[in-house]
Amino acid sequence: MPNSLWRKWLCPLLCSLRDGLALLLPSFLVRRLYGPADFAFLVHPRDLHDVERRYPFFRKLSPQVREWVLRYHWPVVLDKISVRDALGRRTTGYLISISLTADQMLPERIVAKKKILRALKLAEKLGCKIVGLGALTASVTKAGTWLVGRTKLALTTGNAYTVAVACGDIEQLIAQLALVDPLIAVVGCYGNIGEALTKILGRRHRLMLIGRASEMLFAFLDRMKGYLDKETMISTDLDALHEADIVITVTNSPSLKLTAEMLKPGAIVYDLAQPPNADHPSFWQSDRVQHLNGGYIQVPGLEMRFDLGLPKGVVFACLAETILQALERDFRHHVGCVDLLHVALTQRWAWRAGFRPALGLPEKERVIPNACERFAHVRGNDTRMA
């Protein structure tokens, strides 16, 4: 049998059948079959291309069969994750995926919740004690709060460390470009991560808060009064982004897509959204603006074969927080609104474990700390800049 046939076609299919059987087997047999684990991290395919990459035969199915498979398929184990941190501590976990794409998750919330519960059941059978909610699995479960009481597992959204890394990255960019009083736009401000970013950045910088509904924006602005020490703008119009020096995108909407033309020359887009809000081709076809994917973390001693589309040894901050929680043996829930004290705690955990932020671009291209310097000439030629 050709190796490529086994690797691309038969092995993924047999592993999928094994994962379905695991949901029916007793826990002690499942743990013997898979091996011990401390944590699991839930994900889902961004689009049909992700599914086809894992299961090449999927592209040969009719649209009706595809929809049926995605709707009724059980959760699958994508890979085993092993980490040995800077202190020599070890932890092991599993990357588990449900079968709905990003475009299906929000309109199919009831189906998505059922699939997430089945994935948690699989994690329990695998012996995991902590589960991180990746991508839109947190959004459809009200930042994980809907799951509390429905599982024995400790739950985390990973948002606290994501916020910590984002704030650090933004301050680093401001310092490297020597920006004076920059205007920072937060797109998706009243979401979980957006609110925490507003609370932290609003004490030091001018903010532009972007949301879809004006009523929610005004209510959010009222809630943030104690955290906003500088003049703050609000808008429901993405055209307002043309005034911002830095744009942070952190929405849970796969349909919201920014283009480079919406921003002023020399602006920086820091994309925290998963799926990304700023993956339009215009960002790669022009040096007019700088695009960075945010929330990337270099993890020491990481062993994982599954391709997340990131540089080797790099994971998303939400996954990094789940790993840190397992290393620290913290079996508490970290769901709902982001606790700013927990943001600081995750920073201390990360420093102790040797985890370090890595500003990054997709397609496995590592960005060194001074990557933004090549855009300085663009900013210098724009007389509208502060």
- DSSP codes of every residue in 250-265: --S-TT----GGGS-T
Mean pLDDT of 12-31: 91
Report pLDDT for 1: 46
Domain assignment present for residue 118? The answer is yes
Q: Count the helix, strand and coil residues of the chain and give each as a percent rounded to the nearest 5.
A: 45, 20, 40
pLDDT in tens, 103-145: 888 888 999 999 999 999 999 999 999 999 998 999 999 999 9
Give the domain range for residue 293: 161-297+360-380
Mean pLDDT of the chain: 86
Q: Are residues 268 and 191 in the same domain?
A: yes
Residue 153: the pLDDT is 97
Higher pLDDT, 211 or 146: 146
Tell me what the mean pLDDT of segment 363-385 comes to: 35
72 band by pLDDT with thresholds 50, 70 and 90: confident
Mean pLDDT within 144-164 = 96
Regarding whether 12 and 107 lie in a shared domain, the answer is yes
Q: Please check whether residues 145 and 190 belong to one and the same domain.
A: no
The DSSP call for residue 10 is: I
Choose one of 119, 141, 157: the last residue of a domain.
157
Task: Return d(Cα 133, Cα 243) in angstroms, integer.
Answer: 34
* Per-residue pLDDT tens over the stretch 313-339: 999 999 999 999 999 999 999 999 999
Identify whether the C-beta of residue 260 lies closer than 8 Å to the C-beta of residue 284: no
Question: pLDDT-derived band of residue 3, with 50, 70 and 90 as boundaries?
Answer: low
Dist. CA 237–CA 250, nearest whole Å: 16
Mean pLDDT of 256-265: 84
Q: Specify whether 143 is located in the same domain as 198.
A: no
Q: Are residues 18 and 127 in the same domain?
A: yes
